Structures are given as C-alpha cells and as structure tokens.
Amino acid sequence: MEFVLQQAMQETQKSLAGLYDGNPKRETARPSAEQMLRAFCNLTL
C-alpha cells in the first residue's frame, strides 16, 4: 500500500495535507502506511 501510493504520488508530483495531527496544513509526498490508516480510521463499512 505504501509503495504504490508513494510511487503514484511521485509520478503525478502531488502531495497530501492533513495527515499530521498537530499541523493539518503540513504536506508530505511520502506518507507512511500508518498515517494513511490513521486518516481513514473513522470510516466503517
């Protein structure tokens, strides 16, 4: 998951914001799997 996301973001030259708790405007081009799972932890199916 982490590798595929980072590779896709590198190809499109985009970055994600909102993954850091203390600084929601901080962006990253290499999010970790833990950060991504934490971002979606409030979703249920």
- Three-class SS of residue 42? coil
Residue 13 has pLDDT above 90, yes or no: yes
CA 40 to CA 21: how far, in whole Å? 13
Q: What is the pTM of this model?
A: 0.69
Beta bridge partners of 28: 16
- Three-class SS of residue 45? coil
CA 19 to CA 36: how far, in whole Å? 7
Determine the pLDDT at residue 39: 87
Determine the pLDDT at residue 26: 93
CA angle 30, 25, 1 (to 5 degrees): 25
CB 1 within 8 A of CB 33: yes
